[in-house]
Amino acid sequence: AQSVAQPEDQVNVAEGNPLTVKCTYSVSGNPYLFWYVQYPNRGLQFLLKYITGDNLVKGSYGFEAEFNKSQTSFHLKKPSALVSDSALYFCAVSLWGTDKLIFGTGTRLQVFP
Amino acid sequence: DGGITQSPKYLFRKEGQNVTLSCEQNLNHDAMYWYRQDPGQGLRLIYYSQIVNDFQKGDIAEGYSVSREKKESFPLTVTSAQKNPTAFYLCASSTLRQGENQPQHFGDGTRLSIL
């Protein structure tokens, strides 16, 4: 069965420092991987996706993610965190030929001034 | 601007009552989805539809029903059979393009509570 794991419920980082939000996946096939962000009482906003090609994917708001097939990971990164990046982040996976997404449980990012 | 509109933003249900959550999109997307969000559990798929007049159950369909009479609309009914309906409900839509899964676009949700 397909699954996504976000091992950290919360990540704390100081403003200006680099941040990483971790995601690992388990699928029986080639994965399509996504990152979304959710602000309080709002829907999810798409940040970036990996389909094929370059393992480093660049997305919105300066975020990027690195696909690592051997470690089945897709960690979200940003070189310099902003207080406004504080939100709930979701990793999701789907398989080619299906449009159903499987979401992780989310990681709350807190950036301190 | 194109987007997904969910209404109402807050909804209260009495015991034994059915309630319907609205979801409308003007993105001309083929597929629409309903998710339930509970704290610490991420998003779980309730129902989805890839075409008008057709829909499929997701992982937690029991106690819910949907319809897809128009491409733009995908209302969700939370029936009295759903014993724990308190949650944040999110509607999403996406295009369907063979060979490349497209991102889903989300509405701003409806928060349902029990009176």
Residues in chain A whose Cβ is within 8 Å of chain B: 9, 32, 34, 36, 41-46, 49, 51, 90, 94, 96, 98-101, 103-106
Residue B39 has pLDDT above 90, yes or no: no
Of A32, A42, A106, the CB nearest to B101: A32
pLDDT along chain A (113 residues), means of 10: 92 98 91 93 93 89 94 97 97 80 95 97
Residue B3 has pLDDT above 80, yes or no: yes
Of A34, A94, A103, the CB nearest to B42: A103
- Predicted confidence (pLDDT) per residue in A28-58, tens digit: 888 899 999 999 989 999 999 998 888 899 9
- Predicted confidence (pLDDT) per residue in B41-67, tens digit: 889 999 999 999 999 999 999 999 999
Residues of chain A in contact with residue B11, where contact means CB-CB under 8 angstroms, are none
pLDDT score recorded for residue B15 = 83
pLDDT score recorded for residue A97 = 66
B43–A9: do the CB atoms touch at under 8 Å?
no
A–B interface: beta-carbon pairs under 8 A? 58
B22: which residues sit within 8 A by CB, 6+ positions away? B5, B6, B7, B8, B73, B75
SS (H, E, C) chain B: CCCEEEECCEEEECCCCCEEEEEEECCCCCEEEEEEEECCCEEEEEEEEEECCEEEECCCCCCEEECCCECCECCEEECCCCCCCCEEEEEEEECCCCCCCCCCEECCCEEEEEC
Residue of A nearest to B40 (CA): A105
A43–B109: do the CB atoms touch at under 8 Å?
yes
